[in-house]
Structure 1
Amino acid sequence: MSETAERPPQAAQDSHHSRIGARKLLAFEGFRRLLFSRFSSQWGDGLFQTGLAGAVVFNPERAVSPPEIAAGFVVLLLPYSIIGPFAGALLDRWDRRRVLVAANILRGILILISAAAVATGVGGFPILLLALVVIGISRFVGAGLSASLPHVVPVPNLVEANALSVTLGAVISVIGGGCAVGLRAVFGDDNVGSGLTTAVAVIGSGLAAWLAGRFARGALGPDKVVEPATALAAVANGLFDGGRVAARTPSVAAGFCALLAHRASFGISLLLTVILMRYSFEDWGPVKAGLPGLGVVLGAGGLGIFVAGLTTARLVTGLGRKRTVFFALGAAALSQFGLGLPMTLPTTLLAAFLIAYTGQVVKLCVDAAVQRDIGDETRGRVFALYDMLFNITQALAVAIAATVIPANGESVGLIIAATLIYLAGITGLEVVSRRSA
């Protein structure tokens, strides 16, 4: 029997943010349960993705080229980008609690199949196909968790609650990646060891499904369904509805411009970092190059995400959401240019921290705009459209960068291009904001 989640009273949607602190937020039973479900899910995601990266990209028995690495990113990002808006229509039609339970169970089964394939030496397209389905389900789960948040916390506290849940969730994902690095050291970096490491990720999916299942039916929405008579028609309308609502909501449309710029620049930085870590960087003191070094970079990024969670609500309270996003994009551009150009391991670590920090600030502001300013009957579609647009943007950035990046990853031109993209994001944010005004 499912327990009934405590649902806080919903305040009017005004322009003010309220901060009550993490302790009072955690007093809401529904928020606490949703938060722990997110933690379990994202821990498993981090472990699964890092385990596969170790098995494929940092396999000592196989050299991979930049186009092959980029192809892996594109294959993992694009498929869910195509089905994302349709998934959003389902999140606004089906009981989100049941969706979260079923999606996590399915993901756990596919993780075990993927682990078995890695352990038996299966490579190439089959592994990428399994990985893209697992990642796609993870994105679907993430959209469901975000769309459910306004059902477990008061509206004025959404910025703070979203900062806490999304930020700590991202940190937990990094911890999952660190666990994968540690488990590879225990199980070994051969096929069997990589398979065992990947299989451990099933624990996260199982726990996330159990936690989501403890909500009462309907506790996570949607409150009402404004859909065509058949599910097929609802799915077909998902993309159009999400785009129409987002375009008509000024705060969301302007935020999308900023986050699109970040994801494009981040895609370029991601490819550069992986290739530099694989082929160019040398050990720097206790920090080793290769997969361990990539783990340290992920840790630096995780720290930046954590700090963003602690400071974003204060920045929004003091500066307002628009100015906070301007600040974040400007700082990201400076970090990309000033710390990216030296192309050394220590400057890359600092750049990872700052870019992750500023990117998370932007994301939290955009998440809050969607959660506050989009109605519950269409919020799932907008979040799914959100994922689709940003995954496509990142995938295209990686694919285009792969056509010009040298084999060792040392490209001044790409770093300058990533910096200019941030500046374009600032321009787009200003233009859309003025047009809205």
Structure 2
Amino acid sequence: MASSTRRGGTYRAALTHPGFRWLTLGSTVSELGDLLYVVALAAVVFDRTASAAWVTGAVVVRMLPLVILPPLAGALAERVDRRRLLLAANAVMALLAAGMAVATAAGSPVLVVILLATAVNAASTVVGPAVAGLVPTVVPERDLAAANAVTGSLSAMAVVVGPAAGAVLLLLGSPATAFALNAATFVVAFVCLLALRSHAPATGTTAAPAASSSPTPDEEVQASEAPEAMSTTGVARLLLTDSTLAVAVSSVIAACFTFGATSVLFVVVSLELLGTGTAGAGYLLAAAGAGGLVGAPLASRIAAGTAVGRAVVACVALSALCLLLLAVAPGIVVGCALALLLGGAYLITEVLMVTLLQRHLPTGLLGRASGLIDSAAFASILLGSLLSGVVVELAGVRWALVVVAVLPLLAAVAATPTAAALDRASRARVEALAPRTRILAGVDALTGASPAALERLAEAAAEERVAAGAVVVREGDAAVDVFVVVEGALAVSTTATTPGEPDVPELGPQSCFGEIGLLHARPRTATVTALVPCTLLRLPGNLLLEVVRGDDALETAVGLLATTRLRRTHPTGPLKTRVG
């Protein structure tokens, strides 16, 4: 089977998924346009006002929606179709960017251009939560970290290419041209999204099982634990109280604080310490972007291990230490080397945080969680840039580097014990789940599933012992869960079979059953009865669908098994698969 031979977790593996390719292409082109127009906006504001204060004010005003709106945008991304939301957002941003081009060319007041830019940022706040929720639906578990690393690499490339392209456009054309080109990137993103095929409903939850006259206990439990039932406050509390998520979120906020400070300190360091003028700031920024390109492949490898907690904390400490060492850098070469390390550490922190978020939260919570984190991250970036600017004015650039670096270093030191405990717990968890994951790995329908996916299923599985003669599932009941046989033998019977047809084979160890009703959106199609005392693993149906969804090979394997069995027991019945 293809899924068993293809090596997952690589860039190439992540890019084999068409939905991810379209999503990434659209996002990257749009991000390039954003970075390109930021340079043009600063040029317009300074040209019209000749005031650095106006430029600073424009940056602050433009960032306010990024601090305030993401929690609301995240909630919206969970309540509407994410693909349609991205289409609408890119259409609105294209119109607003075109308006900036027209306003600039017509000589409109600079405040109009700033407000239009602020509106573009407001519309963009839905992009992060929507994309965060879409990625797990178009990429299987085994390629999730690699997909996030691909996204991070392309973002790092955009950081290098975008501002440079903006500067070239200003030399060859005008700010209005840059704004028009930004509008065009949103149109390209819109077209890419039209080609995107998502495997998930808007809310990130699966369709409901086939209805029966009254809900089963399994259905009642699932309804009570539905992700959409949790409030935004509850999601925020979860991010703060869950140890794994808290370490990841606090680390990325600390890293964003350092990143925000670089927007001011790179310029001042280049002017006052390295003597390379404003061009040196561009070199440092480009080096940081290149560091992201180098760090992204490492991030996917780290995410596959059991030392993610300490790796995240170490990257926060490394980025802060690089900023601190800029105070004594002897020249631009060393300065760029430090910026390279800083950019790589920042990118690894971000990729690991996003991957942990996607692995630990149901897709129904990803929108709000991503929105809350985006809000805190942008606030941290803004705080880092403002604090560094104030300290530079009061005490000079070297003290600014010290102050800005010490804060995330202290945060990293404080988080180290928790991160180490999480890594120990992660190793213990893997070892404890090993017997179950070995059983699940031997199930034909799960061939090719990643270790992380198998561990999720193993952790959620409930072990059940049934006596000989007990009915495990009954034909006509609502299909909620899937079962895997650990020990014993079970018989399959159905009212649809006719005399003379071959019997349905018995189910033995490492066989699964119950998937037909789940995948084909119908009640149970057969009755399964224990022939001898049996030990079973009950797998939550919604979780199984979430694991299968987006992995074409795994989806094919599970779907083929279900279809083959359904044709055997119901040769004339309609087939309606709902994995996708």
TM tier relative to shorter chain: 0.7 to 0.9
| CA gap 1:199/1:345 in 2 versus in 1, 3 angstroms | farther
Deviation, structure 1 residue 185: 1.5
Unaligned runs of 5+ in 2: 208-226, 426-580
Letter in 2 for 1:355: L
Post-superposition offset of 1:19: 3.8
Q: Tell me which of 220, 234, 238 is aligned to 1:245.
A: 238
Against the structure 1 CA distance between its residues 94 and 79, is the aligned structure 2 distance closer, same or farther, given a 3 Å change threshold? Answer: same
2:145 pairs with 1:163: no
Q: What code does the residue aligned with 2:126 have?
A: F
| Separation of aligned partners in 2, 1:271 and 1:70 | 11
The match for 1:12 is none
In the alignment, structure 1 residue 78 sits paired with structure 2 residue 59: no
Residue 195 of structure 2 is aligned to residue 207 of structure 1 = no
* Residue identity in the other structure for 2:42: A
Task: Provide the C-alpha distance between the structure 2 equivalents of 1:109 and 1:69, rounded to a whole number of angstroms.
Answer: 24
Rate the CA distance shift 1:410–1:69 in 2: closer, same or farther, 3 A. Answer: farther
Match of 1:21 among 4, 10, 15: 10
The reply to whether residue 184 of structure 1 matches residue 177 of structure 2 is no
Give the Cα–Cα distance (whole angstroms) in 2 for the partners of residues 275 and 304 of structure 1.
Answer: 21
Query: Bigger shift: 327-336 or 82-91?
Result: 327-336
**1:379-421 residue CA offsets vs partner (Å, 9 max, x unmatched):** 11000111000111221232333333239x9521110012102
Residue 134 and residue 348 in structure 1: after superposition, are their counterparts in 2 closer, same or farther (change >3 A)?
farther
Once the two structures are superposed, the pairs formed by residues 37-52 of structure 1 within 5 Å of their partners are 37-52=26-41
2:42–2:55 contact (8 Å) kept in structure 1: no
* Residue of structure 1 equivalent to 2:247: 254
Q: Does 1:62 align with 2:43?
A: no
Higher strand share: 2
Partner Cα separation in structure 2 for residue 329 and residue 315 of structure 1: 15
**1:46-96 alpha-carbon deviations (Å, 9 max, x no partner):** 212222233335x5982415xx55433322222221111011011011000
Identity %: 23
C-alpha distance after superposition, 1:20-71 (max 9, x if no partner): 42223222111111111222221211212222233335x5982415xx5543
CA distance 1:331–1:397, change in 2 (3 Å): closer
Distance 1:118 1:37, change over 3 A: same
Letter in 2 for 1:30: G
Q: Which of 301, 304, 329 pairs up with 2:288? A: 301
- Name 1:359's counterpart in structure 2: 346
Is the contact made by 2:26 and 2:189 (CA closer than 8 Å) also made in structure 1? yes
Partner of 1:53: 42
Distance between the aligned counterparts of 2:72 and 2:321, measured in 1? Answer: 37
Task: Name the CA distance, whole Å, in 1 between partners of 2:327 and 2:260.
Answer: 14
Aligned length: 401
- Return closer, same or farther for 1:344/1:136 CA change in 2, 3 Å cut-off: farther
Q: Deviations over 1:224-248 (max 9, x none)?
A: 399xxxxxxx99x864143023224
Whichever of the two has the greater Rg, that structure is 2
Amino acid in structure 2 at the alignment position of 1:145: V
- The equivalent of 2:358 in structure 1 is 371
1:398 to 2:388 alignment: no
C-alpha offsets along residues 122-181 of structure 1, whole Å, 9 cap, x if unaligned? 455433322222123334213311221000111132111111123213313432222111
Q: Higher relative CO (CA 8 A, sep ≥ 6), structure 1 or 2?
A: 1
- Separation in 1, partners of 2:198, 2:258: 41
Instruction: Report the TM-score when normalising by structure 1.
Output: 0.82
Taking a change above 3 Å as real, the CA distance of residues 296 and 123 of structure 1, as seen in their structure-2 partners, is: farther
Where does residue 106 of structure 1 map in the other structure? 92
| Cα distance per residue 1:249-299 (max 9 Å; x no partner) | 32111111111111122222221224556x658875xxxx43x55443332
1:345 Cα offset (Å)? 4.5
3-state DSSP class of the match of 1:425? helix
Match of residue 179 from structure 2 = 198
